[in-house]
Amino acid sequence: MSRHNEQAVQSPASERLRLLGKIIEREQPELLNDIAFQIRRFRLIDGAGLEALANEVLQETVVQASKIADRYDPAGEALLWLRAIAIRVILRRRSKTRREQSRFSLAGDTQPVRRAGIEAQSEEKIFELLSR
């Protein structure tokens, strides 16, 4: 099959994917800056590690965009569409990070705490009270 015929046979989804690839390549610096801004905005990380995390989010954004390329409207604003995907990626990461932090803080919390005027008891004290 000639190169001309291959292009004529391309599906709309593969054409959108190709178009998105070109847009991502061209707009990568701006998209990366936007991602870094959103990471700081949502307080996912600041300072050390920001650039590496922004690159990870960009990669994940590209993967997500390629999975849903059939939803991309070439008449629409591609950078806006990609930013929306990136923000969803960042929010998922933030939720995951918060769940993990919560799990670690609950598992590692061995100090008595005061909440609403009630002092938490040590495990030994709780078992002693329950065994009465």
Is 26 within 8 Å of 11 (Cβ atoms)?
no
Is 20 within 8 Å of 72 (Cβ atoms)?
yes
* Confidence at residue 117, expressed as pLDDT on a 0 to 100 scale: 46
How many DSSP H helices and E strands does the chain contain? 5, 2
CA-to-CA separations, 108 to 70, 101, 105, in angstroms, rounded: 45, 10, 5
Kindly give the parts of the chain with pLDDT less than 70: 1-10, 104-123, 125-127, 129, 132
* Confidence at residue 24, expressed as pLDDT on a 0 to 100 scale: 94
List of E strands, 1-132: 114-115, 118-119
pTM more than 0.85: no
Total Cβ atoms within 10 A of residue 56: 15
